[in-house]
Structure 1
Amino acid sequence: MRRHRRTAALAGAAVLLTTLVACGADETPGSDTGAEEATAGSTGELTVYSGRNEELIAPLITRMEEATGLDITVRYGDTAELAAALLEEGDRTGADLFIAQDAGALGALSREGLLRELPATTLEEVDPAFRGSADDWIGVSGRARVVVWNSENVEESELPTSYTELNDPRWEGRVGYAPTNASFQSFVTALRVLEGEDAALEWLTDLREHGEVYERNGAILDAVNAGEVDLGLINHYYWFAKAAEEGEENLDARLHFLPGGDPGSLINVAGVGVTARGDQEEAALAAVDFLLSEEAQLYFAEETKEYPLAAGVTSPVEGLPPLESIEAPEIDLTDLDSLERTLELLREAGMV
């Protein structure tokens, strides 16, 4: 078995993503024949920058090495920090592949021309909604924004039908949110893009006045389950991980997917891109194809309860609504790269 090595920390950060480093990160709670055919004959060394944590990714990297025959070096770190490093390194980078926690970081690299266009055969594995509009990055797993609610304190008929209703007076002091969390900030970025900055700022200001602040999605879920607050804004997989551990029948918390293309039902992705300046393009593409194989897709589904995105792969998670059933907003995920302006808006609203 080959070793996975951390590379030395890179100095500095690119101006475009400097403010992202301060953001909170999301927590993360046999070989497929098709993958073997796609990567057969691939050899060599591959340097990967991974914004997904080592505990999650290292076992999958081992499987990737076994399936592809590659010798893989991994640098682990925060997605925003690694994206900033890639921007600063430019032509000097030693990275061949970037695995990102969210689409915004990939969008920032795409706009700077730092990612290679992917082959059509790779792109067609994933719905266009979950890949870059320049065809230079692709989603490998998805997470849906949801409203979690306490079934003992709230009737299903009372649930909001839009994110705007969360600021109704009846919910004062009853809604939990995490303004420093990356997933919340990605939602606010989508809100800015879809509804405009004035509407986003007004909504944030109102939420700050009567909502309840938490540091993390997991803390919001626990608070709703305990009846500390009655509604909360989280990603779907926290609830499914908790239900798997404790049993759905033992939870008072339930999930509500907002309908009608509401921004509150944003589906963001963890994704991957091949660096434009790396010198191992063939090996990097083999790695991308492995991440879209059934083996890797089911790994994410089982380990994190995220949605598999590759065509033909269905999540084995019991009770998870089909991805196509979610009425998500129509948005180019590349536009989530404007997080710096989102942070400015959060500061204007007094949230961070």
Structure 2
Amino acid sequence: MRRPSVRRITALAAAGLLFTGLAACGSDDGGDAGGTDGKASSLVIYSGRNEKLVKPLLDELEKAIGTKVEVRYGDSAELAAQILEEGDRTKAGLFFSQDAGALGALSKEGVLQKLPRATLDKVDKAYRGSGGDWVGLSGRVRVLAYNPDKVPGNKLPGSVLDLVGPEWKNKVGFAPTNASFQAFVTGMRVLKGDDATRTWLKGLKDNGARSYANNLAVLEAVDSGEISLGMINHYYWYEQIAEKGEDKVTAKLHFLPGKDPGALINVAGAGVLEGTGQSEAAHKALDFLLSKRAQTYFAAETKEYPLAAGVTSPVKDLPPLESLDSPDIDLGRLESLQQTLAMLREQGLV
């Protein structure tokens, strides 16, 4: 693995992404996960996905690939920065990211292996790295949750860009510190440019949009009628339906049309690290995560979209992925989080 540029690490650190335990983790002698022939005795996974969510699946993975698996959990961006800082010393053989942006950052630095065509072809090209070095494992779409008692279905906005209009003054909720919102803003920057995105963020604030701690809080505010609509990921609503029953949830979902920036589909995904001697186990692990068993697990447990070809979601009334009118975007370009955070700070939103 080549060493990343000092400039790149400094940029990530400036964005507040370096893991506080960086030095300690980087110097950990750990187990014998290294080697030069790709046949290490164990596989180390750096996981940006929550331990409570994925540990049962990763326990299955260990049995499926026949190799001891060690998992280090943390924030995806922090772990990506840690891998770049560690360089050739990294213990990670597989990076399992919560979002495409962190994978894009590693791809940009050339620290991920090119994946076999057989692996890449399991996932639509829209949901994998353009450099062929990472694949999406599960998807989530940005939607508008709305309260039908406050907003009739025929009065819903046609675009997230409309939310700065006077008809939505003091009626909109969002979670500016949430990683998914920040990824969406990054996507808007890629699609519409920095000037247009900055203007939209200012308009959102000036229009009295209400800030919440997370997506669930936004959904609950919509459900109670505190606000008329809010920007969230789709699965929060489906989780609430599964937990409470549809008759107990007032809020509804609006999937935006016309390849709108507000209909961004982001992914959780994974890539194999270069030069760690864990290639064989890491590739087996990636294939397991794209298996029907693992893909169905993601769909059932998180209500995300399975991304491997031939696997469908068991979630009732979830629109098929191919029916969504999401924007055309290279998800790897969501790596410019530093600039997004700077823009949000500039507008006083974080």
Q: Which moved more, 1:299-308 or 1:42-51?
A: 42-51
Q: Which residue of 1 aligns with 2:290?
A: 292
For each residue in 1:200-231, what CA deviation from the matched residue of structure 2 results, as whole angstroms up to 9, or x when unmatched? 00000010122011010000000000000011
**Structure 1 Cα separation of the partners of residues 292 and 16 of structure 2:** 33
Q: Which residue of 1 aligns with 2:60?
A: 63
**Structure 2 Cα separation of the partners of residues 279 and 16 of structure 1:** 29
**Structure 1 Cα separation of the partners of residues 15 and 224 of structure 2:** 32
Q: Which residue of 1 aligns with 2:10?
A: 15
- Paired residues in the alignment total 322
Deviation at 1:250, TM superposition (A): 1.6
Alignment of 1:1-352 (within 5 A): 14-21=9-16, 44-209=41-206, 210-352=208-350
**Structure 2 Cα separation of the partners of residues 346 and 49 of structure 1:** 28
Task: Give TM-score, length-normalised by structure 1.
Answer: 0.89
**Structure 1 Cα separation of the partners of residues 202 and 320 of structure 2:** 34
Contact 1:16/1:84 (8 A) holds in 2? no
3-state DSSP of counterpart to 2:299: helix
3-state DSSP of counterpart to 1:48: strand
Q: Which residue of 2 aligns with 1:34?
A: none
Q: Which residue of 1 aligns with 2:3?
A: none
Contact 1:148/1:221 (8 A) holds in 2? yes
Residue 69 to residue 201, structure 1, CA distance change in 2 (3 Å)? same
For each residue in 1:115-142, what CA deviation from the matched residue of structure 2 results, as whole angstroms up to 9, or x when unmatched? 0000000000000000000000000000
3-state DSSP of counterpart to 2:314: coil
3-state DSSP of counterpart to 2:344: helix
Contact 2:17/2:81 (8 A) holds in 1? no
Q: Which residue of 2 aligns with 1:4?
A: none
Deviation at 1:16, TM superposition (A): 3.5
**Structure 1 Cα separation of the partners of residues 93 and 346 of structure 2:** 38
3-state DSSP of counterpart to 1:141: strand
**Structure 1 Cα separation of the partners of residues 298 and 251 of structure 2:** 24
For each residue in 1:252-287, what CA deviation from the matched residue of structure 2 results, as whole angstroms up to 9, or x when unmatched? 100001101000000000000000131110110000
3-state DSSP of counterpart to 1:148: strand
Gaps of 5+ in 1: 1-12, 24-41
3-state DSSP of counterpart to 1:14: helix
Deviation at 1:44, TM superposition (A): 3.5
Gaps of 5+ in 2: 1-7, 19-38
* Letter matched to residue 15 of structure 1: T
**Structure 2 Cα separation of the partners of residues 307 and 17 of structure 1:** 29
Deviation at 1:43, TM superposition (A): 8.2
Deviation at 1:20, TM superposition (A): 4.6
**Structure 2 Cα separation of the partners of residues 113 and 320 of structure 1:** 36
**Structure 2 Cα separation of the partners of residues 249 and 19 of structure 1:** 46
Deviation at 1:78, TM superposition (A): 1.0
Q: Which residue of 2 aligns with 1:39?
A: none
Q: Which residue of 1 aligns with 2:33?
A: none
Contact 2:158/2:256 (8 A) holds in 1? yes
**Structure 2 Cα separation of the partners of residues 71 and 201 of structure 1:** 47
* Letter matched to residue 300 of structure 1: F
Deviation at 1:22, TM superposition (A): 5.7
3-state DSSP of counterpart to 2:221: helix
Task: Give TM-score, length-normalised by structure 2.
Answer: 0.90
Identity percentage over the alignment?
A: 57
For each residue in 1:316-350, what CA deviation from the matched residue of structure 2 results, as whole angstroms up to 9, or x when unmatched? 00010000111000000000000100111111222
**Structure 2 Cα separation of the partners of residues 330 and 241 of structure 1:** 27
Deviation at 1:19, TM superposition (A): 4.2
**Structure 2 Cα separation of the partners of residues 311 and 43 of structure 1:** 30
